[in-house]
Amino acid sequence: MVIRNTTGPAITLEQARLLMTQTPYTPPKVWQQETKAGGTFASINRPVAGPTHDKVLPVGKHPLQLYSLATPNGVKVTIMLEELLALGHSGAEYDAWLIRISEGDQFSSGFVEINPNSKIPALLDRSHETPVRVFESGSILLYLAEKFSSFLPADPAGRTETLNWLFWQMGAAPYLGGGFGHFYAYAPEKLEYPINRFAMEAKRQLDVLNRRLGEHRYLAGDTYTIADIAVWPWYGALVRNKVYSAAEFLSVHEYPNLIRWTEEIAARPAVIKGQKVNRTWGEEADQVPERHQASDLDK
């Protein structure tokens, strides 16, 4: 396999591997955390779990309480909730509270009580006698789809195909974000081998989606489902150059079916609204740090 880059001649994967092995780093027998490690997000990366401080989470008036940030994983849930409201599910009204991950909000005792993994998004459903906590974005999408009988086909084949792609996204995105995104955009130094390695995997994933969307309008077939809602915030954002500024680097123009799907979903009113919730950057009109009623999005 040949790896191409913009700074030098093409090299084989084996040559790239040899380049990496020629670096002076020798792993110690026992790993220990170095405070200088981690790049952009070094201040919130740590090798232990659990809370760092006591803080009770706020609670609003609606049964559904969302604690999140408008990252791709957070946007999945706010899009889902806005899609449910657009269908007329009044029970999907929600309060969305901002979790500033760069300031360590996800390590508060209240947040850890809902999500012991200290990652956004986290949902608390207070419509039950005993509130139900839901964490992991894919789990939240599935929970809401089943709760409101929407965006998840009832027939076994359709349901299974939807879950196939939902779980595909949950397994694939870490290679895109924690792999490619980290080394290409956030790492303290640019390293050729990991960037090339994860760029290759990112392009393979884009090709998987492009081939599927060349056969069907949506990922699970002809119906818009939680599979699309899960995949779009990551791969649609990549295609639209909204994450990592890597659209040109990854030649996303090579995936016309994925582009078609990306733009179709981007035009959905609920998707436009959902992207604004818990957002604190970009155009001011696109920022709704907290959402407690529908009118909060009327900017």
Within this chain, do residues 220 and 125 fall inside the same structural domain, yes or no?
no
146 and 127 inside one domain: yes
Mean pLDDT of 132-153: 99
Name the residue with tokens 């700074």.
7
Q: What is the pTM of this model?
A: 0.90
Confidence of residue 299 (pLDDT cuts 50, 70, 90): low
Place of tokens 């969302």: 66
Reported as a single tens digit per residue, the pLDDT across 193-205 is 999 999 999 999 9
**94/162 same-domain check:** no
CATH of the domain at 229: 1.20.1050.10
Task: List pLDDT tens digits, range 71-89.
Answer: 999 999 999 999 999 999 9
Look at 33-37, 189-193, 238-242 and tell me which has the smallest mean pLDDT: 33-37
Q: What pLDDT does residue 9 have?
A: 55
pLDDT for res 261:
99
Q: Confidence band (pLDDT; 50, 70, 90) for 34?
A: confident
Q: What mean pLDDT do residues 295-299 have? A: 89
Of all residues in the chain, what percent carry a pLDDT higher than 90?
A: 85
Find the range with the poorest average confidence among 17-21, 246-250, 254-258, 287-291.
17-21
The range of the structural domain enclosing residue 233 comes to 156-266
Query: CATH code at 80?
Result: 3.40.30.10
Give the residue from 123, 150, 177 where a domain finishes.
Answer: 150
Q: Residue 252's beta-bridge partner residues?
A: none
Tell me, yes or no, whether 109 lies in a domain: yes
Amino acid, single-letter form, for residue 116 = P
Candidates 20, 22, 3; CA nearest to 11 is 3
Which segments of the chain does DSSP mark as H helices, in order? 13-21, 72-86, 109-114, 137-148, 156-174, 192-213, 226-231, 237-239, 256-266, 269-274
Residue 11, pLDDT above cutoff 70? no
276 inside domain: no
Q: What pLDDT score was predicted for residue 33?
A: 84
The answer to whether position 6 is within a domain reads no
Task: Say if residue 207 is in the same domain as residue 118.
Answer: no
The residue ranking higher by pLDDT, 19 or 249, is 249
Any domain includes 271: no
- Give the model confidence (pLDDT) of 151-175 as tens digits: 999 999 999 999 999 999 999 999 9
Say if 133 falls within a structural domain: yes
Token pair belonging to 33: 């955390």
- Same domain? For 142 and 182 the reply is no
What's the pLDDT score for residue 20? Answer: 53
Residue 45 lies in a domain: no
Residues 84 and 178 in one domain: no
Enumerate residues 6+ apart whose C-beta is below 8 A from 232.
Answer: 79, 261, 262, 265, 266, 271
Question: What's the CA gap between 75 and 54, in Å, rounded?
Answer: 27
65: which 2 tokens?
């309480």
Instruction: Identify whether 283 is part of a domain.
Output: no
Average pLDDT over residues 174-191: 96
Q: What is the pLDDT of residues 84-116, one digit of tens each?
A: 999 999 999 999 999 999 999 999 999 999 999
Residue 191 included in any domain: yes
What pLDDT, on a 0 to 100 scale, did the predictor assign at position 194? 97
Shared domain check, 256 and 186: yes
165 plus 252 within the same structural domain: yes
Do 75 and 163 reside in the same domain of the chain? no
Number of structural domains, the chain? Answer: 2
Mean pLDDT of the chain: 93
Is 177 found in the same domain as 224?
yes
* Final residue in a domain of this structure, among 112, 129, 150: 150
pLDDT one-digit tens code per residue, 222-255: 999 999 999 999 999 999 999 999 999 999 999 9
Residue with tokens 């779980």: 167
Q: Among 150, 176, 203, which residue terminates a domain?
A: 150
pLDDT of residue 143: 99
Is the domain of 109 the same as that of 174? no
Are residues 120 and 91 both part of a single domain? yes
